[in-house]
Amino acid sequence: TQLLEQSPQFLSIQEGENLTVYCNSSSVFSSLQWYRQEPGEGPVLLVTVVTGGEVKKLKRLTFQFGDARKDSSLHITAAQPGDTGLYLCAGVSLSGGSNYKLTFGKGTLLTVNP
Amino acid sequence: EAQVTQNPRYLITVTGKKLTVTCSQNMNHEYMSWYRQDPGLGLRQIYYSMNVEVTDKGDVPEGYKVSRKEKRNFPLILESPSPNQTSLYFCASSLGLPRSTDTQYFGPGTRLTVL
């Protein structure tokens, strides 16, 4: 069974601070996705990283896929209260031939205080 | 508007009373799946379907059934619910298998409590 470990589990910071969330595994993934989930809603895809070493930027959010495609990080610059939410990473891997499987980490609950 | 809808959004029921949670998508997606989300355990896949009449077990299928008779609908059936199935359930769909380039869209969730 492939596992994705996310850290930290909880993070409470002040507006304007920077933060990094980590997603680690001993398994190799075809790609890795990051989602954000707000209370009472389903997860929403933020980004997919595909190539080892790839870096993608989405405004103040920077996503990186590890060279070996086993880990990823999400860095937020100058966090704002609107960034508050549960951040989930999910690894895409081949399962049983041609089937693809999505394995989720347990999430990082981020609170940005004004 | 492209979306995944689930009904009901909230449900309180008793042990053993059969229930169905409906899921529908209007994006002509082939791949649909069900997840449950529990504190400390994250999102775990229950069942998935790659197309009409094609379904397969995910990581935690025990106690659940699904059917895919139409492309747009993927109901989740609990024949005899038990308290350990109390959870937040999400339906999701994507154009194809969750490959690198396919976005998976999630429904708003169904909060189920089994007494």
Name the pLDDT band for B106 (thresholds 50, 70, 90): very high
How far A42 CA sits from the closest chain B CA (Å)?
Answer: 5
CA–chain centroid gap for A75, Å, is 9
The count of residues in chain B is 115
What residue in B sits closest to A43 (Cα-Cα)?
B106
Q: Distance between CA atoms of A109 and A87, rounded to whole angstroms? A: 6
- What distances in angstroms separate CA A92 from CA A3, A11, A45, one per listed residue? 11, 26, 13
Residue B66 has pLDDT above 90, yes or no: yes
Residues 6 or more apart from A5 whose CB is under 8 A from it?
A23, A24, A25, A105
Q: Are the beta carbons of B108 and A42 separated by less than 8 Å?
A: yes
Per-residue pLDDT, averaged over B72-99, amounts to: 92
What distance in Å separates the CA atoms of residue A33 and residue A31, rounded to the nearest whole number? 7
* Residue ranges for chain A with pLDDT beneath 70: 1-2, 95-99
Q: What is the dihedral of CA A13, A108, B36, A36, to 10 degrees?
A: 70
Classified as helix, coil or strand, A83 is helix
Asked if B92 contacts B30 with a C-beta cutoff of 8 angstroms, the reply is no
Check A30 against B97: CB less than 8 A apart: no
> CA end-to-end span of chain A, whole Å?
40
Residue A1 confidence (pLDDT)? 59
> Which residue shows structure tokens 């007494």?
B115
The pLDDT tens digits of the residues spanning B22-59 come to 999 999 999 999 999 998 888 999 999 989 998 989 88
Residues of A in contact with B103 (CB under 8 A): 45, 48
pLDDT at B10 > cutoff 80: yes
